[in-house]
């Protein structure tokens, strides 16, 4: 099967995302750090939508449905896939949102003073 | 409220300390271990720390603990069957003045005696080892080749998965709301969903340890202080060791992904749990990084974040039980060094909890020392 690249900055494939989900990294914050998704030069602008789609899919919510993982604040009762999808959250965005050259940051800092 | 669940021990905190303690307790044969984490694994200091592991300290107790930790780190990937990305590139601690020179001349022989192979590097040796490092005002550096870094999340996940294989139950997004003593001994730990009853309680909630202890009337004198970190885009490998300037509260290293990861202390931080990023840090850090490594001026910073150092009054950890609180244990106040000490501290705590004794002395790290008065300080604490 052809390789599907989800994250072009870090060359992360759809198979790698699926593998991480199968190993129990069901949450965006853990998935991000386990695969490296959304941590490259674009900081998630190119890959985050597809990653969230995977998390909202039955594959992504399998752990919560099976009681293996808790989602943020979800009840303990079994849930429908569509309800679970609503639990998927956008990961923390870190500043600077646009990567900045160190030279430019130093210059900006000097202007501040 | 449903019927309480029971456990042999409830561990509050799903950071690297909690997971490593759960693993070591299970390995020593304890069953029915429950870990409660209010967010996702590593949401606190574990996931926010720089991943540095060093044995260069000024107090013997810190050198011994760190040295024992490194011995565990060296085999931890195979022990846990999980790649923790441990890399021993060494730590280079820059010496700027006579006072720092005198300090390393005193501490290097002590570290050597305890088995830590630190040696002094003259500026020309530093130049050979770290090409591109600006050495104006630098008289040399203390270098320990067996210091290094690991990926904190990988260490956490490795311990967590190994703990789960041994039957440990981990509850995520499960915040502890109340802790109380049971009439017949033991503790009731209440969360939003259920209550756990256990004869033992291990409080390793990082910067929140103090709050959990307060629920039991135990006063832990730690305070959270924000520390910030920034990371550059991935660059070709050029930097072998972690470089530290204690005088400037500044450090940086290069990760296996090629990112330069580092931080610098800000003046005027007051105690708080904030993890907000500040422009002041970004400006100060960028200036320090360019000053020490001018060639990095053209590199881009792509991300910054912050986390809490759980600071104790003498910057030494607080580990063990508490007089008058049978079955209660804690480990906190690591003051920025919890990750690197975790492998040995979690083993010692598991020994203490299961046998009442430890293979290394930790009495000096008890909570009671603060009441006794005289406190030792380590001159190598950054931040």
Instruction: Provide the 3-class DSSP secondary structure of residue B357.
Output: coil
Taking the C-alpha atoms of residue B142 and residue B383, their distance in angstroms, rounded to an integer, is 19
Give the list of residues 6+ apart from residue B75 with CB closer than 8 angstroms, or none.
none
Chain B contact for A108 (CB, 8 A cutoff):
yes
Taking the C-alpha atoms of residue B68 and residue B332, their distance in angstroms, rounded to an integer, is 19
Contact yes or no for B343/B75 (Cβ under 8 A): no
Closest C-alpha to B66, from B333, B339, B357, B383:
B339
> Tokens at residue B362, please?
């930790």
Q: What is the ipTM of this complex?
A: 0.84
Across chain B, which has 383 residues, the per-10-residue mean pLDDT values are 86 98 98 95 95 96 97 98 97 96 97 98 97 96 98 97 96 93 96 93 98 97 96 95 95 95 93 90 96 96 93 96 96 97 98 98 94 84 73
What is the pLDDT at residue A73? 41
**Residue appearing with tokens 């909690």:** B18
Chain A contact for B266 (CB, 8 A cutoff):
no
Taking the C-alpha atoms of residue B182 and residue B64, their distance in angstroms, rounded to an integer, is 38
Average pLDDT, chain B: 95
Instruction: Provide the 3-class DSSP secondary structure of residue A6.
Output: strand
Task: Indicate if the pLDDT at residue A72 is higher than 60.
Answer: no
Taking the C-alpha atoms of residue B132 and residue B127, their distance in angstroms, rounded to an integer, is 7
Q: What is the CA radius of gyration of chain A?
A: 17
Chain B contact for A101 (CB, 8 A cutoff):
yes
Cβ contact B40–A29 (<8 Å): yes
What is the pLDDT at residue B372? 83
Closest C-alpha to A20, from A33, A10, A4, A11:
A33
Spell out which residues of chain B touch residue A99, defining contact as CB-CB under 8 Å: 233, 300-302
Query: What's the sign of the alpha-carbon dihedral B76, B82, B85, B87?
Result: positive
Closest C-alpha to B204, from B9, B53, B61:
B9
- Which helix (H) or strand (E) segment is B289 a member of? helix B279-292
> Tokens at residue B84, please?
């923790």
Cβ contact A102–B277 (<8 Å): no
Instruction: Provide the 3-class DSSP secondary structure of residue A29.
Output: helix
Spell out which residues of chain B touch residue A111, defining contact as CB-CB under 8 Å: none
Residue B102, min C-alpha distance to chain A (Å):
33
pTM greater than 0.80 (yes/no): yes
Torsion of the alpha carbons at B308, B99, B103 and B241, rounded to the nearest 10: 60
Q: What is the CA radius of gyration of chain B?
A: 21
Closest C-alpha to B179, from B328, B323, B366, B368:
B328
Task: Indicate if the pLDDT at residue A70 is higher than 60.
Answer: no
Chain B contact for A33 (CB, 8 A cutoff):
yes
Cβ contact A70–B282 (<8 Å): no
**Residue appearing with tokens 């009337």:** B217
Q: Using one digit for the tens of pLDDT, what is the confidence trace for A26-65?
A: 888 889 999 999 888 888 888 988 898 888 887 877 666 5
- Which helix (H) or strand (E) segment is B95 a member of? strand B91-95
Taking the C-alpha atoms of residue B54 and residue B91, their distance in angstroms, rounded to an integer, is 7
> Tokens at residue B239, please?
């930097």
Instruction: Provide the 3-class DSSP secondary structure of residue B97.
Output: coil
Contact yes or no for B139/B86 (Cβ under 8 A): no
Chain B contact for A97 (CB, 8 A cutoff):
no
Chain A contact for B169 (CB, 8 A cutoff):
no
Chain B contact for A3 (CB, 8 A cutoff):
no
What is the pLDDT at residue B344? 98
Give the list of residues 6+ apart from residue B309 with CB closer than 8 angstroms, or none.
B45, B207, B224, B225, B226, B227, B334, B335, B336, B383
What is the pLDDT at residue A86? 60
B 113-142 → A contacts, CB under 8 A? none
Query: Number of helices (H) and strands (E), helices first, in chain A?
Result: 6, 3
Strand B91-95 with B140-144, pairing: antiparallel
Q: Using one digit for the tens of pLDDT, what is the confidence trace for B237-271?
A: 999 999 999 999 999 999 999 999 999 999 888 99
What is the pLDDT at residue B251? 97
Closest C-alpha to B46, from B223, B307, B277, B300:
B307
């Amino acid at each position: 099967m052809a390789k599907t690249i989800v994250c072009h900055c870090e060359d992360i494939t759809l198979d790698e995302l699926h593998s991480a989900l199968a190993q129990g990294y069901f949450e965006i914050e853990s998935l991000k750090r386990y695969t490296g998704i959304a941590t490259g030069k674009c900081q998630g602008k190119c890959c985050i939508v597809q990653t969230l789609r995977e998390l909202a899919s039955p594959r992504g919510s399998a752990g919560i449905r099976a009681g293996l993982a808790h989602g943020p604040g979800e009840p303990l009762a079994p849930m429908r896939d569509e309800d679970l999808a609503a639990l998927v959250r956008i990961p923390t965005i870190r500043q600077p949102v646009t990567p900045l050259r160190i030279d430019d940051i130093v210059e900006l800092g000097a202007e501040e003073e | 409220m449903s019927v309480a669940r029971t456990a042999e021990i409830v561990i509050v905190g799903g950071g690297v300390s909690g997971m490593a303690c759960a693993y070591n307790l299970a390995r020593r044969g304890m069953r029915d271990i429950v870990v409660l984490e209010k967010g996702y694994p590593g949401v606190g200091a574990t996931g926010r720390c720089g991943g540095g592991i060093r044995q260069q300290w000024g107090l013997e107790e810190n050198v011994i603990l760190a040295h024992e930790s490194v011995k565990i780190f060296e085999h931890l990937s195979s022990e846990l069957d999980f790649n923790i990305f441990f890399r021993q590139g060494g730590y280079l601690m820059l010496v700027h003045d006579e006072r720092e020179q005198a300090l390393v001349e005193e501490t290097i022989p002590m570290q050597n005696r305890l088995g830590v192979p630190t040696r002094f590097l003259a500026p020309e040796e530093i130049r050979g080892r770290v090409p591109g490092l600006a050495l104006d005002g630098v008289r040399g550096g203390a270098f320990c080749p067996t210091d290094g870094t690991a990926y904190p999340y990988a260490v956490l996940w490795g311990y967590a998965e190994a703990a789960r294989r041994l039957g440990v139950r981990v509850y995520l997004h499960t915040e502890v709301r109340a802790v109380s003593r049971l009439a017949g001994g033991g503790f009731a730990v209440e969360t939003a969903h259920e209550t756990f009853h256990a004869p033992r309680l291990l409080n390793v909630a990082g910067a929140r340890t103090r709050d959990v202890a307060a629920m039991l009337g135990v006063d832990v004198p730690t305070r959270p202080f924000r520390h910030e970190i920034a990371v550059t885009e991935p660059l070709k490998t050029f930097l072998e060791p972690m470089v530290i300037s204690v005088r400037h509260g500044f450090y940086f290293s290069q990760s296996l992904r090629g990112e330069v990861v580092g931080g610098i202390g800000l003046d005027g931080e007051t105690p708080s749990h904030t993890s907000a990023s500040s422009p002041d840090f970004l400006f100060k850090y960028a200036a320090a990084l360019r000053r020490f490594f001018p060639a990095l001026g053209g590199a881009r910073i792509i991300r910054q974040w912050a986390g809490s150092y759980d600071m104790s009054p003498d910057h030494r950890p607080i580990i063990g039980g508490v007089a008058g609180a049978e079955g209660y244990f804690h480990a906190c106040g690591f003051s920025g060094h919890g990750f690197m000490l975790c492998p040995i501290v979690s083993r010692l705590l598991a020994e203490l909890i299961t046998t009442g004794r430890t293979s290394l002395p930790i009495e000096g790290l008890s909570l009671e020392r603060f009441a006794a008065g005289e406190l030792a300080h380590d001159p190598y604490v950054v931040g």
